[in-house]
Every structure is written in C-alpha cells, then in structure tokens.
Amino acid sequence: MFQKVMASFGQGGATVDARILDRHVRPGGTLHGEVILVGGQLDQEVESLAVTLLARVEQGSEESTTDLPFQNVQLAGKELVRAGAQIKVPFEMQMPWETPVTTVFGKYLTGMAVGLQTNLNLARTVVDPQDVDAIPIEPVPAQHRILDAMTRIGWQFRDANLVKNRVDGVDQQLPFFQEITFTPPPAVANVFNEVAVTFLARPRDVQVVLDVQKRVRVLKGGGLGGRAQPRLGSFVVEYAAMGRTNWEQQIEGWLREVAKPRAIFD
C-alpha cells in the first residue's frame, strides 16, 4: 500500500526520458526522436504519452513570460506499464514553418527557450512525470543568408526573444513571432538604436520583417532626442531565387532610406 501511495506522488513511479536523434532540425523539417518509458516499483496504467513543442514567449506590457505549446504529437493511449519494464517509443514531429530559430552553426542564440516536453499521464497519480529538452533549430538557408548579410554590413547580434503577438500586415500562422535583434555599426550608431529581424517562413519563401528603432533627433517639446521611433520594412526571399540578389546591398539601401531625415522631429 505504501508503494502505491508514494507512486501516486511520483516517487517510485514510472519515468520518461526523451532523446532527440537529430543534431539539428530546421523550420518545416521533421524532428526525429524517441521516448524511453521506464516502469517504476509497481505496475501502473498509462492514460496517455505525448510530446509537445514549447516556446517561452513574452506577453503583456510588463513583459512577463509564459511557456506556450505550439505543436503536439500523441504517442500512446491507455496501456499498462509493468514494474521495471523499459519501453522505447520512437516519434516524428513536423516542425511548423514559423518555428523559431534557436541556433546558428550550433551556437545557441541568447534569449531563446524552445524545447520538447514529454508528458506521461498516469492513472491515479497526483504528479505526472515530465521531461523537457532544448531543441537545436537551425535557420533554413534563406534565413541564414539574411542573418549573414546583417553581420557582413556591420550589425552585431545582441539577443533574440519571442513575442506573443501578431505582426501587422503579414500572414502569420503561429500566435507569436521571433525577434532577432542587432546593434548598429559605429557609422550609423547615432541614427539607429537597433534592428529586430523577424522571419515568417513558408514552403517556397520567407517573409523578412525589419523593425528599425530610429533615434529621434529633436523632441517636439524641445531638446535633443533621446527616444527612438519604430520603422517597419519587409521583403520576401524566394528559396529558388535566393542567390540572384545581393542582400547586403538591398538591406543597406533600405536602411539608408530610413536614415534620411524627413522632418525636424525625425
């Protein structure tokens, strides 16, 4: 009886451990893995076994965070797990095209928290076993090309974050979007505070949104500007035609246009 009581609180009960078999995965690709289910000190009935993609996103004006599920795969329904048994459950998960990028050339981006959560629901238990593993998600070639262009023209990666919101004027599938933020090179540091790059990838292309924080030169109430105002720009990179454009020139040209003063308060 004591063993049953302890197992209901997760002690001596069944456990789960997910293993990601891919070195990395890309948006739109397939994540391969396996879940190792190990029986506890007594037989237990499994209600369900599932893996879920979780993203830590910012929400609200106070920038509080929450872990938001955005893809789920059920692996098993009701069945009995014998005490001490070890069961290996392979799985495949299709990554949404708008899945955030977490690594570039294997290096994790500061601020990113996207993981695979394994949920084991056991009958007659108070605490269900869970396991969360970080996922290395590399950019698709078109995304990588734009990130490379930003660094080639002197912008330095600062951090990345996920925002629970929608980007105006674009076809967005997930309820959040990623911002990869760069700080300006010295030549334009007096004009820009930062540029945030957002990717909305699709099967044949990716829409790139640039959110520029431009310094205000003169405040309407008087004095020199210390604030910044946002400017949005976007363009589409077709995968098949990606190599036909000099993206460094494209991005620099657009930023030069944004940098031009349009009024005394700009």
Report residue 228's pLDDT band, with 50, 70 and 90 as the boundaries.
Answer: confident
Same domain membership, residue 46 and residue 116: yes
Q: What is the mean pLDDT of the chain?
A: 86
CB 50 within 8 A of CB 73: yes
Same domain membership, residue 11 and residue 130: yes
> Among 134, 166, 183, which residue terminates a domain?
134
CB 106 within 8 A of CB 136: yes
- Please report, to the nearest 10 degrees, the dihedral formed by the alpha carbons of residues 59, 60, 62, 63 taken in order: 20
Please indicate, yes or no, if residue 80 is contained in any of the structural domains: yes
In 3-state terms, what secondary structure has residue 125? coil
Per-residue pLDDT, averaged over 104-120, amounts to 94
Same domain membership, residue 23 and residue 69: yes
Same domain membership, residue 147 and residue 175: yes
Tokens representing 122? 């056991």
Same domain membership, residue 65 and residue 181: no
pLDDT, tens digit (0-9, with 9 covering 90-100), for 121-145: 887 554 455 778 999 999 999 999 9
Residue 227 has pLDDT above 70, yes or no: no
Report residue 218's pLDDT band, with 50, 70 and 90 as the boundaries.
Answer: low
The predicted pLDDT at position 56 comes to 95
The predicted pLDDT at position 239 comes to 97
Query: What CATH number is given to the structural domain containing 92?
Result: 2.60.40.640
Same domain membership, residue 180 and residue 86: no
Per-residue pLDDT, averaged over 242-255, amounts to 95
Same domain membership, residue 120 and residue 8: yes
Q: Which of 108, 143, 113 is nearest to 53 (CA)?
A: 113
Per-residue pLDDT, averaged over 101-109, amounts to 95
Please indicate, yes or no, if residue 266 is contained in any of the structural domains: no
Please indicate, yes or no, if residue 264 is contained in any of the structural domains: no
Same domain membership, residue 119 and residue 174: no
pTM: 0.86
Separation in Å, CA 108 to CA 102, 154, 160, 264: 6, 21, 10, 42
Total number of domains in the chain: 2
| Residue 39: domain span | 2-134
Please indicate, yes or no, if residue 165 is contained in any of the structural domains: yes
pLDDT, tens digit (0-9, with 9 covering 90-100), for 23-60: 999 999 999 999 998 887 788 888 889 999 999 999 87
Which burial class, exposed, middle or buried, applies to 86 when counting CB atoms under 10 A from its CB (0-12, 13-18, 19+)?
Answer: exposed
Tokens representing 90? 């392979």
Using CA atoms, how far apart are residues 138 and 207, in angstroms rounded to an integer? 17
Same domain membership, residue 203 and residue 248: yes
Same domain membership, residue 150 and residue 226: yes
The predicted pLDDT at position 63 comes to 73
Residue 108 has pLDDT above 80, yes or no: yes
The predicted pLDDT at position 76 comes to 80
The predicted pLDDT at position 45 comes to 86
Helix count (H) and strand count (E) of the chain?
3, 15
- The sign of the torsion formed by the CA atoms of 94, 96, 102, 107 equals positive
Same domain membership, residue 12 and residue 46: yes
Per-residue pLDDT, averaged over 54-78, amounts to 88
Per-residue pLDDT, averaged over 202-213, amounts to 96
In what helix (H) or strand (E) does residue 194 lie, and over which residues does it extend?
Answer: strand 192-201
Same domain membership, residue 162 and residue 127: no
Tokens representing 66? 């929450």
